[in-house]
Amino acid sequence: MQTNLRGRDLIGDLDFSKEEIETVLDVAFDLKRKRALGEPHPYLRDKVLAMLFFYSSTRTRGSFEAGMAQLGGHAAFIESKTTQIAHGDTPVEIGQIFGRYFDGIAIRHVDWKVGNQYIREVAQHSRAPVLNMQCDIYHPFQCLADLMTIIEKKGRDLRRKRVVVSWAYAASYQKPISVPQSLILQLPRFGMDVVLAHPPEFKLMPEILDAAHEQARKYHAGFEIISDPDGMEKAFKDADVIYAKSWGALLTTEDANEGARIIEQYKHWITDSRKMKLAKDDAVYMHPLPADRDIEVTSEVMDGPNSVVFDQAENRLHVQKAVMALTMS
Ligand code: CP
């Protein structure tokens, strides 16, 4: 097992090897147990994390901030709009200066074709590790929390488990494609047979699909794509895990109005109890939240016995603490 993560960035899901992800999970389970027992675990005493947000958050901010305090350190919440970024501070200044003030820099920047590049540029100029709190391409900490949750619900041996990563209808806006992209990259490494389902206009990035196929081949897992206007029901059949959420048609159009028009064609892509019955009886329903209740998923499913959405949200805390303790100590 590889354990030397000190000083490392986590920006893309494949930045850590599979063995390194196993180390992160082991530490996360240990930290979860320590918190349950009330055992102090100040691995980052006197360390400070900068949390730079270009975009709103409930879970990410709360869990990183609480996590740093529980590790004995502090997290500084910084919104881009309250900085001098609009007046000339580039990623060079952020990396150079925050890298000297802080022991880690966490950034959320989801603007399409901008966010990932920004985070990578900061990392190039920072002496402190840089952590991706979600960009336009990846949401690695969400994916680690999801993986931890799947292990809790389905056991350590995940080979041949059918995991459906499905698009879902939501009226709100063209959401980032980072969550499904992270899932299809990471889950095949743990032997899961991943089924990606979406209407034809909601394709993911070709280079991410290629990398997901490569991971599936390497780890002898399945990776199937159902790109069909009625593909949701086909995908759900006999699934062990249903992970259904909305994302934007960003590979088809970058125009918000055109994107909204396309989304409106697929109102039937809702997760409801009828569709959940197509999956296995003990299938779990997952969503990173926020979800559009009774539009993207019915409240009956979201609040029902198969839903694990709050365990997912909790596990954000434990995996993030694990990565911070391993990279920032
Ligand atoms: N899942 C997730 O990243 O939630 P927030 O947008 O609230 O941080």
Q: Which atom of ligand 1 is nearest to the CA of 313?
A: 1
57 in contact with ligand 1, CB cutoff 6 A: yes
**Whether residue 93 is found in the same domain as residue 174:** no
Same-domain pairing of 286 and 320: no
Structure tokens belonging to residue 328: 């920032």
| Residue 3: band (very low, low, confident or very high) from pLDDT cuts 50, 70, 90 | confident
Is residue 284 a contact partner of residue 308, using CB atoms and an 8 Å limit?
yes
Task: Give nearest CA residue, ligand 1 atom 6.
Answer: 57
Q: Ligand 1 centroid vs 22 CA: distance in angstroms? A: 23
Residues 112 and 169 in one domain: no
Residue 161 beta carbon below 6 angstroms from any ligand 1 atom: no
Q: How many domains does the chain have?
A: 2
48 and 172 part of one domain: no
Nearest protein Cα to ligand 1, atom 4: 59
State the pLDDT confidence band at 174, using cuts at 50, 70 and 90.
confident
Q: Is the pLDDT of residue 9 over 80?
A: yes
Nearest CA to ligand 1 atom 3: 60
For residues 134 and 200, membership in a common domain is answered with no
For range 127-151, the mean pLDDT:
99
Mutate to test the pocket of ligand 1, among 316, 317, 319, 320 (most ligand atoms within 8 A of CB): 316
Question: Which candidate, 182, 184, 242, 202, places its Cα nearest to that of 12?
Answer: 182
Do 319 and 292 sit in the same domain of this protein? no
Q: Are 214 and 98 found together in one domain?
A: no
Range of the domain at 180: 142-309
Does residue 2 sit within a domain?
Answer: no
- Could you report the per-residue pLDDT of 209-263, keeping only the tens digit for each? 999 999 999 999 999 999 999 999 999 999 999 999 999 999 999 999 999 999 9
pLDDT at 173 exceeding the cut of 90: no
Q: Based on the domain organization, do 124 and 175 belong to the same domain? A: no
> pLDDT class for 2, splitting at 50, 70, 90?
confident
pLDDT of 145 reads 99
Average pLDDT in the 96-117 region?
Answer: 98
What is the rounded CA–CA span in Å between residue 61 and residue 54? 12
Which ligand 1 atom sits closest to the C-alpha of 60? 8
Query: Which residues are CB-neighbours of 194 under 8 A, at least 6 positions away?
Result: 163, 165, 183, 184, 187, 188, 212, 216, 221, 222, 223, 224
The domain spanning residue 294 has which CATH number? Answer: 3.40.50.1370
Phi, psi of 12 (to 5 degrees): -110, 155
Are 206 and 96 in the same domain?
A: no
Which atom of ligand 1 lies closest to the CA of 63? Answer: 8
Confidence of residue 171 (pLDDT cuts 50, 70, 90): confident
- 183 confidence band (pLDDT: 50, 70, 90): very high
